[in-house]
Each structure stands twice: as C-alpha cells, then as structure tokens.
Chain A
Amino acid sequence: MTAIVFDKVWKEYGDHVVLERINLEIAPRSFVALVGPSGCGKTTFLRMLLGEEAATRGTILVDGKPLKVEPDADRGVVFQRYSVFPHLTVLQNVMIGREFETSRFLGKLFGAKRKQAEDEARTLLDAVGLNDHENKYPAALSGGMQQRLALAQALNRKPKILLLDEPFGALDPGIRADIHVLIRKIWNENDLTVVMVTHDLSEAFRLGTRVIAFERPRNRPEELERYGATLGSEAPGEIARPSGPQPGASITRDFEVWPKKIAAPVGGAASVPDTPSVAKAAE
C-alpha cells in the first residue's frame, strides 16, 4: 500500500524549467499511465520518483514520508533500454537482486543459498515466459524478451513502486499485447503501485487506472525553453511565478488532464482501492 504525493514540485536545469508546479496524489495500488509529447519531462518525473534526480522545489512524499534521496529496493524500474546486465545470463540477471540482498560483501551466493535463489529466479522466469532461455546472455534475446527479463529482475526484490519508462516502446504490436497481459497480471498479483510512461495513448488507457498528460505551453515558441510542463487544473494568472532566472516571464497555462477511470484490476484482491484520485487542483 504505497501512496505517493507530489506537492508543488518544480524541476529546473539551470534556466530551463522542465516541470512546473506538479501537484499530484497517487493512491496506493494505482496504475498511473503518463503521457505527453517528447521532451516534456516524463522521464525527468520518473527520475525524481526514483531518487535519481532531486526536485528543485517542492516535496515528494511516499506513504507520508519524504522520498528517499537515492534509488533503493523499494522502487523497481524498467527502462526503455539498458535495463538488464549484459554480462550476466538470464538467470543470473534475475538472481542478482537476491544476491545483493543476502551477500553484503561478495554480492554472490554459493551452495544451498544459491540453489534457493536460483529456484526463486526460475519461478519468476516462468511467469514472464523465459524459462527456456535461462543460460543465454541478454544480447542473444529479442527486445521483447529483454524487457520481460527486466520485469522479472525488477520484481525479484518485491518493490512497492514499479516505474516503467516506455518499457514497450520498441516492441511490435503483437508482442506488446502479450506483455500487456503480463504486466496486468503482475500488477494484480503484487502489492504494487505502478507508474508507467508511454507514448501510446491506447496503451495508457488499456493499462492505466489513471492517465495523466504532461504538456508544455507552446503559444510562444521563443518561450518554450522557459516554461516547464504543468500538471493540474489551475486557472491562468492565479499563482505568481517565483522570482526565477527569467524575471517577467509569465505562465501560459495550457494543460490537460485526463483523470479517467478504467476497468478495475481483474482478479485483484477485493480490498484494492481503485478510485483514481483526480489530479489535485492547485490552491
């Protein structure tokens, strides 16, 4: 049960405002799909949630506590690329999470413990349909198989939050459909809150309990650099911009939000709260 709160979060790189005033409450066990045009800051958003990047302003809370400042085993991730270790076989890739957990010094297990970790890993490989490939190296796998491997690897440490950055962007539609089934199953069977970035609206609506769009105002091209994408439903002119590196700039608020509820997770526990909270309007 992991709730995530973004409270007036800004992200800037130097003069470049990437994300502006993000207010967001994510209910436990949501499946949030994040859509938006390229470069609007979706990956940046995930990286903040991951603890890889700090917010320039504002706070991010997970279960009421400030987000840990560096990545940890509570937050699993699957990137679009480079998600699995090229020097480890499929089985070793899944197992390594357990090895990190139980062998502090060597990061490697031997004997009975290794056997046990291997069996666990095989169960996961079974779930993602890779059981016949456990001794291959990732380079010998197709893109879809690599992403399924990355999922199994991330799930091995039983994260509370699963972050997916366009994990299926490179896959062809047939394979995508298979993985969609898999990811829904994973979400239903584990106590997971999922945040997924995607470019594919139909994927977003098919998988998400909630779809959120990031957009950057585009009215004045010369100001594109200066405005971050905004999330929320505040009216124009309500908030004064904090004195930033570009005095006099104002915000062109042109945002859209689709807090659309989609089907409740099939086969999920009856207690799963699945009311998507509407993106919080700014005060």
Chain B
Amino acid sequence: MRLLNIKPDRAWTVALAALPFFALIVAYMVGSGIRLAENPNDKLLPSFTAMAEAVKHYALEADPRSGLYLMWNDTLSSLSLLLTALAISTFIALVVGILIGLLPIAGATFGPVVAVASMVPPLALLPILFIIMGLGDGAKISLIVIGTTLKLVRDMALRVKDIPAELLIKAQTLGASTWQIALRVVLPQMLPRLIDSVRLEIGPAWLFLIAAEAIAADSGLGYRIFLVRRYLAMDVIIPYVIWITVLAFLMDLALRLLQRKAFPWFAGARTA
C-alpha cells in the first residue's frame, strides 16, 4: 500500500500525536538529569520537582509583600490586555475590511494606505507609543491593535473579494441594497472566516504583549518572565512559557469550537 494511503485509526492518531510531546519531555529529563548530576545547583535545566515548587509558590501562595497570587494576577493582567486589544482589532477589521472589499470607492481610498501601513514593523512603533501614551496599558493595547489590525483588515478585504461575484449579483437581482447586501450576505459569510484570521493573529498578539510588558509593566506574564530572568530563574520561566502556550492554545481551541457551533453551514461551504 502506498504511504499516502495509510491512515492511522483513532487510537493510533492519539498515540502518534502524543509521541513528539513525550519525546520532548524525555529529552528534557535526560538533559536536566545529566546537568544536575554534575552540579546540583545548576539553574539552566531545573528538574520537574523544582518547577513544581516554583509554580506552587507563584500560583498557590500569596506574595508576602503584595498579598497577591502572582501567577493569577499576571495571567489576569495579561489576558485582559490581550483580549481587549484583540476585540478592538477584530471589530475594526470586520468593518474596514468589509468596506474595502465590498465598495470599490472605499477600496480605492483605503486599500493602498492599509497595504503600506501593514508593512511598518509594529515593534518599531513601540517607543513612539510609549512616548505618546506613557507606560500604561494604553500603549500596550495600542501596540497589539496596530500589530494585528492591519493584517486582519487586509485579510478580511481579500476574503470579501473572494465571495463569488455571482452571489452579489444574485442579491441585487433579489432587490437588495448595498447596506442589505453587507448586512445579510457579506457579514454572515465573513464572521466564520474572521474567526480563522483571528486564530492566526493570536500568536502575534502574544508576541507584542510580551514585548511591551518586558519593557514597561508592573505585572503580567511577560513582565514576570523578564523580571526573574535577572536571577536566572528557569524554574519560573519555563512553567510560565508553558502556561502562555496553554493559554494561546485554549484561545485557539475556543475559537475553533465557536466557529463550528455558531456557523454550522461553514464546514460544508468550505469544502464545496
């Protein structure tokens, strides 16, 4: 049988998916074991017990100075910034993207400026944002919004243009106005596609958040990682990185489920 025709069954699919994770963990344990055997005070590859200790300290014990559970406090702080920013950019992308994609006048006016602006590296704007907006949350949210919105807008505009012309003509032959077409034909077809685009922007959004927190913050997951870096506290950094990854993965999963539940027609239409 040809290799490309061999499909793993359910059990095998799970086993195969688990394999690389398992291999990573084993490789880490071996490496960490070797280094710790040489030098029990080695900080670079802490043991899992040391990491569990650190997590317990950060997540389950209140910080004696502030009385806060630091890991939860950091998570809350980071997530609120991230979700606020993503909500803003998603909304802008939906409105502006549909305008640019659907209306030739809007496309001619805003298409080029969006295309050029989306080439500006957002991180290069960070100092400007800090200068203008100060070191507070505003600058961080702005950075994420700037970093993700323009790509989302372009993506939306392209996907609006991908709607078969036949459908827009058809709507017109049913007497629809531009507004009605936007509301009842374009918008509902864009929402599930917007979810796809936002899923791809979760990674960049975290990147911008952590970069901003690293420079100016007093809480947040990125802030904490860069703070404890001074003490080479790998036992904190590694669990934090894993935690951020889990959060990003859960956001992605939630969006995927939302797409499936809220837009039951989409899976069929996508393959058609």
Chain A residues with CB under 8 Å of B189's CB are 85-87
Query: What are the residues of chain B within 8 A of A70 when measuring CB–CB?
Result: 172
Picked from A99, A153, A157, the residue with its CB within 8 Å of the CB of B184 is A99
Q: Using Cβ atoms and an 8 Å threshold, which residues of chain B touch A106?
A: 183
A159 neighbours in B (Cβ, 8 Å): 173
Q: How far is the CB of A99 from chain B (nearest CB, A)?
A: 7
Q: Are B175 and A157 in contact (CB under 8 A)?
A: yes
Q: Chain B 213-242, CB within 8 Å of chain A: the 1/0 string?
A: 000000000000000000000000000000
Docked Cα-Cα span, A73 to B173, in Å, equals 5
Q: Verify if B272 is at the interface (C-beta below 8 Å from A).
A: yes
Q: Which of B85-93, B140-148, B161-169 contacts A (4 or more CB under 8 A)?
A: B161-169
B170 & A83 in contact (Cβ 8 Å cutoff): yes
Residue on A with the closest CB to B191?
Answer: A87
A6 within 8 Å of B by Cβ? Answer: no
User: Is A35 in the interface zone, CB < 8 Å from B?
Assistant: no
Hey, which chain A residues are within 8 Å of B171, CB to CB? 85, 96, 100
Within 8 Å of chain B (Cβ to Cβ): is A205?
no
Contact B174 A97 (CB under 8 A): yes
Residues of chain A within 8 A (CB-CB) of B185 are: 85
Q: Is A50 an interface position by the 8 A CB rule? A: yes
Q: Name which of B13-21, B76-84, B149-157, B262-270 contacts chain A.
A: B262-270
- CB within 8 Å of A: which of B245-272? 263-266, 268-269, 271-272
B164 x A82 contact (CB < 8 A): yes
**In contact, A153 and B174 (Cβ under 8 angstroms):** yes
Indicate whether B135 reaches chain A with its CB closer than 8 angstroms.
Answer: no
Given A86-B189, A107-B180, A137-B265, CB of A73 within 8 Å of CB of B272: no
Residues in A with CB closer than 8 Å to B175 are 72-73, 97, 100-101, 157
Q: Which residues of B contact A71 (CB under 8 A)?
A: 169, 172-173
* Interface assignment of B41: CB less than 8 Å from any CB of chain A: no
Asked if A107 and B176 sit within 8 Å, CB to CB, the answer is: yes
**Would you call A139 and B184 a contact (CB within 8 A)?**
no
- For A45-70 the 0/1 string (1 means CB < 8 A from B) is 00000101000000000000000001
> A residues bordering B, Cβ < 8 Å?
50, 52, 70-73, 75-77, 79, 81-88, 96-97, 99-101, 104-108, 137-140, 150, 153-154, 156-157, 159
22 A-B pairs within 8 Å (CB atoms) are namely: A72-B173, A79-B166, A82-B166, A83-B166, A85-B167, A85-B189, A88-B265, A96-B171, A97-B174, A97-B175, A100-B184, A104-B180, A105-B179, A107-B176, A107-B184, A108-B184, A137-B268, A138-B269, A139-B272, A153-B170, A156-B174, A157-B175
